[in-house]
A and B are shown apart, each in its own frame.
Chain A
Amino acid sequence: MRKVSFPHMGESYRAFQMVLTDLGNEVVVPPRPSRRTLNLGVQHSPEFACFPLKIVMGTYLEVLDMGAELLVTSGGVGPCRAGLYAELHKKTLRDLGYPVDIIVFEPPRLHPFNFISNVKRLNQARLSIKAIVECVKRGWRKVQALDNVEKMSHLIRPEEIQKGATTKVYKKVLPWIDGAYTIDEIVAAEAAALEEMKKIPRDPERLILDLGIIGEIYVLLEPASNLEIEEVLGNLGVRVERSMFLTGWTRDNTWKETTEGMTVKDAAQPYLPELIGGHGRDSIGNTIIYAKRGFDGVIQLAPFTCIPEIVARTILTRVSHDYNIPVLTFFLDEQTGKAGMVTRLEAFVDLMRMKKIQAANEKPA
């Protein structure tokens, strides 16, 4: 059987693995990006390329050594370098002597034929169209379940009484969802997982800060690339809401633009009326929406040298001023030292907390 693999992005691999197996492929599960991945990726990528390209390159080299022959990835929308990365990866990997092929999924809304022919190539089991639809639906439901459980961990972690309890339970319940196969099983596993997480002892008295995370999709979705920022913030007493989940993004680019997507675009309109590629416009729109929802702050995550996010960052200075919401930007690269980031995060949390306390004191007067 042909061996297939794909880039690692958070916990989503659990769902991709299921769908690709159902379609009749042997799946090589990509390992969580580690220092080894990074070293491999940096060694074989152009120096000026952005961080996601390097990590994914490292992942590809790891899965190829584990026997993968075909790689599945997504393309990009708008003028962002990520759109040509699949081709660059393919060229580099072939130069290195791997006879690899890459299937690139472009947004089906814009490229319906690309979608159909790609599915055909992956359908080794010769499933009927009806069976394929059913299989994709299950995969989709699994990604949603994984996203929902992750969102729950972000809500609970800042209030946990025993430090580390949320992470422990989260790691325990993930395999439950992994093991579910039918839609009914997935729904039941998700419910059980959410129930288990709600049992974590919490301190409701704590002053909790609400923070939105915006930025480029890969560094948002892969904790190994952002030094587990959500966990660090949760431990500092911050309830994190990430602007992007795989379900949210794929939905926008698959069937129709969701109402959420529309609002982000509308919100960004006065500041940035153009699609500048990547997620630059989303970063601006989401910051405004977070400000309107009364959040205490926003953190922008971007790969070093990412043009869309650099443009967004410059505009965010004005958004931050106009909407009175603190914004902190991190450009991520191959550094693994967490100290500089932790210092800034701690200071940012102090800043948000003081601002919140001051606002609360001023209100009754």
Chain B
Amino acid sequence: MKAYLGIDVGSVSTNIAVRDEAGEIIAGLYLRTQGRPVETIQAGLRELQQILPPEVEICAVGATGSGRYLAGVIVGADVVKNEITAHAVAASYYLPDVKTILEIGGQDSKIIIIRDGIVTDFAMNTVCAAGTGSFLDQQASRLGIPITQFGALALQSTTPVRIAGRCTVFAESDMIHKQQMGHTLKDIVNGLCEALVRNYLNNVGKGKELLAPVVFQGGVAANAGIKAAFERALNMEITVSPHHDIIGAIGAALLAKEELEIIKKPTRFKGFTITDLAYRTSSFECDGCPNACEIAEIYEEDRVIGRWGARCPRWDIVEESND
């Protein structure tokens, strides 16, 4: 059975998806990156190998997310694509007439505007973590609520409580103030959801025309409280895309399939054996010029397979050409 693999290495989570020829998701993994992308990718592939039926043959691999180049050299990706394009492709696949994509992940949030099936505008938060998954995570653990129940708790709110949303420092001190005044937890949690949505729309969504249908994806889309807050703020129905938490990986798999159909070459996927190889990363300061670039490199066994951080071609790896 032919299948396509997508890997999305984000700052907080690493997601892996495998689709079959018919578009069915035969495996999906949502793993915490925990600052160790290489180990997480290897662990993910090891797990994948156990879930996948033996007759599955990986025909193309795509990598996306902020760790896409790293993932690309480790697994041997056919396509390395930015997460904005990957998210847009996957959202359009499930909802072909989508016009607005709201995406909130662990460390970043983005908005993608689509018209007639193509991306016409996008924005990514640039300033801070206010309004992303990690802040919600942090607040949930401060309040001792499992993050999975955070949304359901917000939905029980009966009285609105206003929390400042522009900055996590302001938000947290506001939350503490309200809690000490005696507001209930469910109202405060709901207030936080509304603050996050307000901040998102003012910051990431600034100047954009948000038209229905609207799709909500990324890890935070699992939070029903945020979804409800978006619906109230926009006065529109919001759809949470299927497989919203691994949607970037699905996009990468779709792009990889497309790419190989165009260039008509076999996949560069190195196979599941890479889970047993030793990878090692290291870094050094280049002494070629006063710029002193911080060069990071990754070794597969004893061979350098990737290098980043240089401002000039001095450290480029000359690829062995297969042509």
Q: Which one of A31, A36, A224, A351 contacts B122 once the chains associate, using CB atoms below 8 Å? A: A351
Q: How far is the CA of A350 from the CA of B251 in the complex (A)?
A: 14
Q: Which chain A residues (309-365) contact chain B, with CB distance < 8 Å?
A: 314, 317, 320, 326, 331, 339-340, 342-344, 346-348, 350-351, 354-355, 358
Whether A317 pairs with B207 at a CB distance below 8 angstroms is yes
Q: Is B66 in contact with chain A by the CB < 8 A criterion?
A: yes
CB distance from B187 to the nearest CB of A (A): 35
CB distance from A234 to the nearest CB of B (A): 13
CB distance from A169 to the nearest CB of B (A): 13
Q: Which chain B residues (84-113) contact chain A, with CB distance < 8 Å?
A: 84-85
Whether B82 pairs with A351 at a CB distance below 8 angstroms is no
B contact residues, range: 20 to 34
Q: How far is the CA of A31 from the CA of B117 in the complex (A)?
A: 48
Whether B118 pairs with A346 at a CB distance below 8 angstroms is no
Q: Which chain A residues (159-179) contact chain B, with CB distance < 8 Å?
A: 164, 167-168
Chain A interface secondary structure, helix, strand, loop or mixed? helix
CB distance from B80 to the nearest CB of A (A): 9
Whether A340 pairs with B119 at a CB distance below 8 angstroms is no
Contacts of A134 in B (CB 8 A): none
Q: Is B81 in contact with chain A by the CB < 8 A criterion?
A: yes
What 0/1 readout, one digit per residue, does chain A (14-44) give for beta carbons within 8 Å of chain B? 0000000000000000011011110000000
Q: How far is the CA of A26 from the CA of B118 in the complex (A)?
A: 57
Whether B116 pairs with A358 at a CB distance below 8 angstroms is yes
Contacts of B180 in A (CB 8 A): none
CB distance from A38 to the nearest CB of B (A): 10
Contacts of B122 in A (CB 8 A): 347-348, 351
Q: How far is the CA of A343 from the CA of B126 in the complex (A)?
A: 12
Whether B83 pairs with A350 at a CB distance below 8 angstroms is no
Q: Is A228 in contact with chain B by the CB < 8 A criterion?
A: yes
Q: Is B322 in contact with chain A by the CB < 8 A criterion?
A: no
Whether A351 pairs with B66 at a CB distance below 8 angstroms is no
Q: Which chain A residues (32-73) contact chain B, with CB distance < 8 Å?
A: 32, 34-37
What 0/1 readout, one digit per residue, does chain B (113-142) give for beta carbons within 8 Å of chain A? 000111111101010000000000000000
Contacts of B84 in A (CB 8 A): 343-344, 346-347, 350
| Between-chain CB contacts (< 8 Å), 19 pairs | A32-B291, A35-B291, A36-B292, A314-B207, A320-B121, A339-B66, A340-B124, A342-B82, A343-B66, A343-B82, A344-B84, A346-B84, A347-B85, A350-B81, A350-B84, A351-B122, A354-B119, A355-B118, A358-B118
A contacts, CB < 8 Å to B = 31-32, 34-37, 164, 167-168, 224, 228, 314, 317, 320, 326, 331, 339-340, 342-344, 346-348, 350-351, 354-355, 358
Other CB < 8 Å A-B pairs besides A32-B290, A342-B82, 17 of them?
Answer: A32-B289, A32-B291, A37-B290, A164-B316, A224-B291, A317-B207, A340-B124, A340-B126, A343-B83, A343-B124, A346-B82, A346-B85, A347-B82, A350-B84, A351-B120, A354-B118, A354-B119
